[in-house]
Structure 1
């Protein structure tokens, strides 16, 4: 992905730290952000969620939404701090940036480490497979039953989805991102790459060798699961999270949220009323 080169170039930004914040009365980070006029966004270089484009500009569904919400909260500028997906929560909690803006799925494990705004989208899973889907891989049960070579991204929720279906975690090929996953499938190193339905349908658009399967809900504890992606905050910053939620819900009600997300490939079916509370409960 073109974003990866830019991520490397901007990676040094992750070395700087934000000021230590107070946990008193839900934190004072929002006041600090208003005073300094800029909020630092942790992104993972993943199209279409949060990335640096070919012109070196920050974009993606989460950064564009952040621009709107934080402007309404009195913070005029957003600044990217690129890192690997698996480093987003550690980077947030070590104060390398102020908020995770990477379309991160809300789940119980992550909720034990950070607090989430309510999801700004919901998403099903999908696979990247070779053209014609020669192994007939349509869900994780197929992957297990047919002993397919399975790949997914670093820190992706699809790791747990595959394990829940009976795939050995030690056998999973972990790759940096969806472009590396596509390359693995095209080269035959993997039979399937799992990602979000949006990620897979976008990454195969220019591929002559691979296609995306129909979206499906993975089974977790025997039940179909629909995931939701949201902004993450440090556990002490409830004041900022609550203020963010207030503006997010206004955008949902007015329909502006969909207008912000639609250019990045989101559909109306991926708009959601899911809450962080219900997703954190598992």
Structure 2
């Protein structure tokens, strides 16, 4: 019995020493390094993008878009050679980040107080307003969210997870007027089929999606009245897990360099954005947006 006990203790000691040895060898490797060190060592960062043109989309087998261009520029400057971009439904980005599927998510995602409690946003990269798409001719003369609210028979389609649902409710649109759909094409289909009279989304997203669809049955409302509420205009940014402070701060540092040298404007202009309308003012910060100080 004593010999057996001694043998067991010896085995346990060997296991413990082996574990300590593994820990020592990993301390200089990727396992125990910082998140940024790990990404540099691997040479690749997994980034989740919402499949929304012009922020992120696939064309000729390659990812394109303003959010893609910014992310690639920042991570290249951070020493991470490859962005492994993965397109996703917008509503799956934050859950995917929380589950460890992505290192970062970005898609012109609007910074909002609610989201600020779930993820850690980088500094704002781009600003944008809202837009409407209706049947050609705009037969119901819808030019604002208040117009929709004034007619309870109007149904509006909106993509799941988008901020527009909250905007519309605050403008007086009833919950039962709002139809949630998985993506932009589904929202167009809802209007074209008559299941909804209108769809809404970020201005550039739905405008460019309609141009790509070349659908003569629908039109973009050019004289849409932007809602005068907290959250409009929206400020889009990359988002990180709440415990990834070092990676977020490093990202912010390189992002600021791109802002200072004017490269942000050059990166987003090929995708339809303009310096006058879409560049974030210097005094707008993530902290101020999260706190609601800008509205």
The alignment's TM-score, normalised by the length of structure 2, stands at 0.82
Q: Secondary structure at the match of 1:235?
A: coil
Q: Secondary structure at the match of 2:108?
A: strand
Matched residues in 2 for 1:257 and 1:58: separation? 18
Deviation at 1:121, TM superposition (A): 0.7
Distance 1:224 1:95, change over 3 A: closer
Partner of 1:236: 243
**1:156-190 CA deviation, whole Å, 9 max, x = no partner?**
10000111112222431111222221222222221
Among candidates 209, 221, 242, match of residue 213 of structure 1: 221
Residues 124 and 216 in structure 1, CA contact (< 8 A), matched pair in contact too: no
- In the alignment, structure 1 residue 225 sits paired with structure 2 residue 232: yes
Q: Secondary structure at the match of 2:173?
A: coil
Partner of 1:191: 197
Deviation at 1:204, TM superposition (A): 2.2
Deviation at 1:137, TM superposition (A): 1.0
Matched residues in 2 for 1:217 and 1:76: separation? 40
Matched residues in 1 for 2:203 and 2:181: separation? 17
**1:46-72 CA deviation, whole Å, 9 max, x = no partner?**
11112222x221222111111111000
Partner of 2:84: 79
Matched residues in 2 for 1:179 and 1:137: separation? 20
**1:10-52 CA deviation, whole Å, 9 max, x = no partner?**
xxxxxxxxxx988xxxx92111101100000112211111222
Q: Secondary structure at the match of 1:97?
A: coil
- Where do 5+ consecutive residues of structure 2 fail to align? 1-29
Matched residues in 2 for 1:64 and 1:224: separation? 25
Residues 135 and 146 in structure 1, CA contact (< 8 A), matched pair in contact too: no
Among candidates 137, 145, 148, match of residue 140 of structure 1: 145
Among candidates 176, 179, 186, match of residue 173 of structure 1: 179
Among candidates 112, 124, 149, match of residue 119 of structure 1: 124
Q: Secondary structure at the match of 1:105?
A: coil
